[in-house]
Structure 1
Amino acid sequence: MLETHQVTEHHPKLGEFGYAGDDHVVPFEVGPLDVRGRTVQLGPMLDAILNRHDYPEPVARLLAEACVLTVLLGTSLKFEGKFILQTRTDGPVDMLVADFSTPSALRAYARFDADRLEALVAAGQTSQQTLLGSGVLALTIDQGAHTQRYQGIVQLDGETLEDAARTYFRQSEQIPTDLRLSVAKLLTPGPGGAREQWRAGGILAQFLPQSPERMRVPDISGGDGDPRDVTQEPADNSWRELVALLGTIEPTELIDPTIGAERLLYRLFHEHGVRVFGGVPVADQCSCSRDKIRGILEGFSAQEIKDSTEDGGIHVACEFCSKQYDFDPAEFAAQ
């Protein structure tokens, strides 16, 4: 059972007992508005993932948003499995992958065309829409062997990841959902002096009234086919108030460690009362292993082993964590 506490002005300062801190997803509930959601601030974990690959700043910002969105969605899984966010587009950043394995492991990487990216940076054209281009965002839930994957696909055509996530919930889940994402570098003091560290944060809130009628969108007249416009939002006052409240969030509030998840939730919902549950930790943890890679190589033909050999060995680097595994081709000579 999740531990809960009520957020008030009299609770302990951030960092003391009862506050989740960095790299914890904090579930919450606002009963009077029929709202449930999750919020998170990613700090050291995200900084480690991005610095490991030394991505150019525009690429790192994109991948950071993907990580926030992935942990907000992945930590909602009630079973052992994976939540995978992946983009495939025709822009200079043609692939983002963020992979969350229950209960807490996150890994991520980005693929990009360095020459195209450099040209856009020089021209000052580094918006998400330009970097991603056109393609798809796929959100996949994998419960493991002997189960069928569930996958929702959203078109990316001039949309940000935040906008695409809203479209996914509106079209695939049909749950009124709003969210905010933010990424920045902050100067952090340390023994060797101040240094820049990546931080990112986000909040996702869903309108879940007991009566389905309150989730209905207004009817529109005329036109062929389905008379309901799927791009419209519910007319319920609670939903409208939720959207208005989330619209007041400043990007810095989502990443500022002196605010934190709980204080942000109090600022947003103190007039209604917000119930905050114990934080769910997330960690920088890759699932690669020598045995897994060996198993893949054991499926190679003799010619494929030969083609994979370089400088007398087979060298495999994990795209997620950059760890390198070295094998002697003789291990697979009998194949």
Structure 2
Amino acid sequence: MADFTQRFLFDDADVRGELVSLGASYQHVLAKHPYPQPVAQLLGEMLAAAALLVGTLKFDGLLILQVRSSGPVPLLMIECSSEREVRGIARYHAEQIGADAGLRELMPDGVLALTVDPKQGQRYQGIVDLEGDTLADCLTAYFATSEQLSTRFWLHADGQRARGLLLQQLPVDRLPDADEREASWQHLLTLANTLTAEELLGLDNETVLHRLYHEEAVRLFEPSPLQFRCSCSRERSARALISLGQGDAELLLAEHGGQVEIDCQFCNQRYAFDAADVAQLFTSGDSQEPSATRH
């Protein structure tokens, strides 16, 4: 299994952890656009972060991580569903991106938005300035300012594989004494900070945890698989046309020579509708297979 998250618990501390590994799903995202290496690495880190965050939430729906900036990368967006299906995209100006550009150079004045969009219930969004030298630093700062459980991230990607580690404090249970609880948390963070990018990208989870916490009582749970999947469809594209109204949809047809094409930015899938298709949409209210007149 190349794409999965795997949860672990410390038996003697109020702390949980999670590791993520992305291979095939990461490659699916990168294959859709010719991303420069620094952008590909940042996309991998964002994918890993979203997968880790889904594991901290109990909901049925979609988690969206989005960063906007005034720099060479004006947009990064990752979506990860509660079914652990991921997709992602970046907008970038290749001519402005140096070979060794980091987060600050790629996304100056950035703003990070974390959105939880459940299938039922209220949508939630948290927004914070993108402050830090790495995406992991920025996400750590987000949790520090959002009054949630203390959470730390370690994220790395190399264009081939994306990996991440998360540690999160749990509500008081095993360590009721505040000083002892804080000392335990800091101890586990100090050990995690010794983990190098090469180790995280190159070692399996059991080896990573043994290197970091061989003196701790750690329980590693079964992995949960992840996969790339784009949620676009002909039906969703049809609904977008219907939302325009029949008059505007027919005007759009005329402006584009009798065929409207809707492209998915995430996967480059293209959905085409001709005059017969559009007429059918406003007759039946849904999309059908492409008409026989399409070439």
CA apart distance, 1:255: 1.3
Moved over 4 A (4+): 211-216
Q: 1:30 corresponds to which residue?
A: 10
CA apart distance, 1:315: 0.8
User: 1:66-91: CA deviations, max 9, x gaps?
Assistant: 10000001133323111110111111
Q: 2:287 corresponds to which residue?
A: none
Q: 2:161 corresponds to which residue?
A: 199
Q: Is the 8 A contact 1:180 1:202 kept in 2?
A: yes
Q: 1:148 corresponds to which residue?
A: 122
Aligned mate of 2:252, from 295, 302, 307: 307
C-alpha separation in 2, matches of 1:152 and 1:159:
20
Q: Is the 8 A contact 2:249 2:278 kept in 1?
A: no
CA apart distance, 1:317: 1.1
Q: 2:96 corresponds to which residue?
A: 119
1:49 is the counterpart of 2:29: yes
Stretches of structure 2 that go unaligned for 5 or more consecutive residues are: 283-295
CA apart distance, 1:331: 2.9
After TM superposition, the structure 1 stretch with the greater mean CA deviation from structure 2, 61-70 or 201-210, is 201-210
Q: Is the 8 A contact 1:176 1:215 kept in 2?
A: no
Q: 1:280 corresponds to which residue?
A: 224
Stretches of structure 1 that go unaligned for 5 or more consecutive residues are: 1-20, 186-197, 217-233
1:242 is the counterpart of 2:216: no
Aligned mate of 2:111, from 124, 127, 136: 136
Q: What SS class does the counterpart of residue 134 from structure 1 fall into?
A: coil
Q: Is the 8 A contact 2:131 2:137 kept in 1?
A: no
Query: How many matched pairs?
Result: 278
Indicate the percent of aligned positions where both proteins have the same amino acid: 38
C-alpha separation in 1, matches of 2:208 and 2:257:
55
The code of the aligned residue for 1:55 comes to Y
Equivalent positions of 1:218-229 (< 5 A) are none
User: 1:109-132: CA deviations, max 9, x gaps?
Assistant: 111233xxx1342xx561111101
The code of the aligned residue for 1:126 comes to A
CA apart distance, 1:306: 2.3
1:65 is the counterpart of 2:52: no
User: Higher helix proportion, which one?
Assistant: 2
Q: 1:208 corresponds to which residue?
A: 170
C-alpha separation in 2, matches of 1:251 and 1:244:
16
C-alpha separation in 1, matches of 2:15 and 2:237:
44
Q: Is the 8 A contact 1:133 1:158 kept in 2?
A: no
Q: 1:93 corresponds to which residue?
A: 73
User: 1:204-259: CA deviations, max 9, x gaps?
Assistant: 0012252697568xxxxxxxxxxxxxxxxx98210110111111101011111xx2
CA apart distance, 1:101: 1.1
CA apart distance, 1:65: 0.8
Q: 1:319 to 1:305 in 2, by over 3 A?
A: farther
Q: 1:166 corresponds to which residue?
A: 140
Q: Is the 8 A contact 1:134 1:158 kept in 2?
A: no
Q: 1:332 corresponds to which residue?
A: 278
Q: 1:300 to 1:272 in 2, by over 3 A?
A: same
TM-score normalized with structure 2 length: 0.87
The code of the aligned residue for 2:4 comes to H
Q: 2:212 corresponds to which residue?
A: 268
User: 1:253-280: CA deviations, max 9, x gaps?
Assistant: 1111xx2122211221121121011111
C-alpha separation in 2, matches of 1:300 and 1:65:
37
The code of the aligned residue for 2:70 comes to D
Q: 1:215 to 1:91 in 2, by over 3 A?
A: farther
CA RMSD of aligned residues (A): 2.2
C-alpha separation in 1, matches of 2:278 and 2:49:
41
Q: 1:295 corresponds to which residue?
A: 239
C-alpha separation in 1, matches of 2:252 and 2:110:
32
TM-score normalized with structure 1 length: 0.77
Q: 1:15 corresponds to which residue?
A: none
Q: Is the 8 A contact 1:84 1:140 kept in 2?
A: yes
